[in-house]
Structure formats: C-alpha cells, structure tokens
Amino acid sequence: MSVLDIVIWPDARLTQVCQPVEGITPGITQLIADMFDTMYAAPGRGLAAPQVGRSERIFVFDAGWKDGAPTPVACVNPEIIDLSEGRLTGEEGCLSIPNTPMDIERAAQVTLRWTDPEGTHERTFTGAEAVIVQHEYDHLDGIVIYDRVEKDVKKDTGR
C-alpha cells in the first residue's frame, strides 16, 4: 500500500466523467487500499479516484476515523438510488481544492448501491456520511464544490 499524489484543481482530470469498473481485479483492490492510505494521510474523510488521477468510478470514505471510530467504506460503481427531499447546508472541504471550504447544500439522506471486494451493498446514509457520499459521487461525474457553489448562486440570483 502507498500514498498517492492528490490531483489539485484546476487539473482537467477533475472535470472528467469516470468510467465504470469492469470487475474487481487485484489492481482495483490495490487501488482501493492505496486510496484509503492516501485519504488517511491527507487527512481527509473521503477520496475519489479522479483525485488520484484515475478515471474509474471508485471512491472511499470514512466519516468516523477522526473521532476514533473508523468506518471505512469502499464504493466501486456506486449508484445513487434515492435522495431525500430534506436538505442541509454545511461547510465542505476538498482535498483537491485545499484550504477553500465552502457552504454546500446537499440532500440530508442518500441511498447508495455499490460493489466492493466483498460483494454488492445498498445502504441509506444520513448526516456527515450522506454529505461525504454526495461529495465523492460528484467527483465521479466531474463535479467539484466550485460547481455546486455556482449553481446555488445562480439559483439565488435567478440566473
């Protein structure tokens, strides 16, 4: 396992839509392990493949590790099944846009389906986990927090 270089905005790789993973190979398992090492070393709570220069639909996250309760989750080919109508706004940071926290509005609850080396899963996330899942999922579609701020500003100004 190793710590990978984090891609920094405005690198064009952060704006690309990632491709589905064809299967969980030893190389994908190694990438997941390296992504966890990189995320923890950063130190962050989530990391998506494009943030380490890869174009696969993979992200990892661990909402609790900084508070002493590690809850690592690796998501390969994640699909958002449902977003709640309830919203929350909170400060988000991004390892690819260092030292630039922004207030972002997100769904308060998200249901996600994904695969990992152990199989396929479906789970509903709330609170910090819901925010992290949506943030990392955005990266897989080439969306960064700057894009979310622009949408909120346009909505508020009617543009």
Active site residue ranges = 136
98 close to 8: Cβ distance less than 8 angstroms: yes
Q: For the residues of 45-89, what is the DSSP string, one character each?
A: SEEEGGGGT--BSEEEE-SSGGGT----EEEEEEEEEEE-S-EEE
Give every CB contact of residue 11 below 8 A, 6+ residues apart in sequence: 96
At 89, list the tokens. Answer: 């706004």
Q: Which of 128, 90, 130, 124 is nearest to 107 (CA)?
A: 130
- Three-class secondary structure of residue 124 per DSSP: strand
Burial zone of 137 (CB within 10 Å; 0-12 exposed, 13-18 middle, 19+ buried): buried
